Amino acid sequence: MYVQHREGHRTDRIGWLRAAVLGANDGIVSTASLVVGVAAAHSTSSDILVAGVAGLVAGAMSMAAGEYVSVSSQSDTEKADLDRERKELATEDESERKELAAIYASRGVEPSLARQVADQLMAHDALAAHARDELGISDLTTARPVQAAFASAGTFAIGAAMPLVTALVTPRTVLIPVVIATSILFLALLGGFGAHAGGAPVVKAAFRVTFWGALAMALTAGVGALFGAVV
């Protein structure tokens, strides 16, 4: 009796993991940068709070809308390709069989065997076979707009809340260095978590996330200090 060996691959996490890491990273970086920039302009604590909360709400909604629109575009393209493939299967069956067999042969399968594989897969589910092997569409990679939108918005809000709460509990005199330091720590943890969940090198991912986040905060602080001095 044949027993299928099930391996613990992580490609099924690509959709939500990408959106979640992007949302949290953007939430931390944008809100921390906003707080640091406003603080560097010698604003009051209430001004910093208002700016931070506004940035959290606006950013979460923007991330949700952006993810939904972009992923919906991908989903529309996938559906259009599947509709076209469905019509071709109904009108050009033999041509589609040859096309699928050619794909397998190009991957190293002996031509006569490739034709047998194509015939058997098309007998089982012709559209699924062409979607997977010709179009590159599968259950693991298919676009999910609503899932991406909620994942991005939720994780953005969580990420943005971290530097915002830090700013609320930190004395105004040391607010800028504390927000920067804690935000870099949050980014390192996020990079490490995302890498671990995806099976990637943790240290490399953590460094990459913290480097670009620190650069963004430094530039924003510089702009805030410049405009604060001018005003």
Residue pLDDT, tens place only, 177-210: 899 889 989 888 888 877 776 667 778 878 888 8
Q: Rounded to a whole number, what is the distance in angstroms from the first to the last CA of the chain? A: 79
Q: Using CA of residue 93, residue 99, residue 105, residue 110, what is the dihedral sign? A: positive
pLDDT (average), residues 13-32: 76
4 in any annotated domain: no
CA-to-CA dists, residue 103 to 43, 90, 106, 156, angstroms: 63, 20, 5, 41
Which of 179, 186, 182 is CA-nearest to residue 158?
186
In sequence order, what E strands does 167-225 have? none
82 in any annotated domain: yes
Mean pLDDT of the chain: 81
214 in any annotated domain: yes
Q: Which two tokens stand for residue 185?
A: 């720590």
6 in any annotated domain: no
The pTM of this model reads 0.68
67 in any annotated domain: yes
Residues 132 and 138: beta-carbon distance below 8 Å: yes
pLDDT given for residue 161 in this prediction: 93
For the stretch 92-151, pLDDT in tens is 888 888 888 898 898 888 888 988 988 888 888 888 888 888 887 776 666 678 887 888
190 in any annotated domain: yes
**What percent of the chain has pLDDT above 90?**
8
What is the CB-side half-sphere exposure of residue 61 using CA atoms within 13 A? 6
**pLDDT confidence band for 91 (50 / 70 / 90):** confident
Q: Which domain holds residue 62?
A: 13-230
3 in any annotated domain: no
52 in any annotated domain: yes
Q: Which two tokens stand for residue 181?
A: 């330091």
When divided into structural domains, the chain yields a total of: 1
Q: Would the pLDDT of 8 be above 60? A: no
**pLDDT confidence band for 231 (50 / 70 / 90):** very low
Angle at 230 between CA 229 and CA 231, to 5 degrees: 95
**pLDDT confidence band for 57 (50 / 70 / 90):** very high
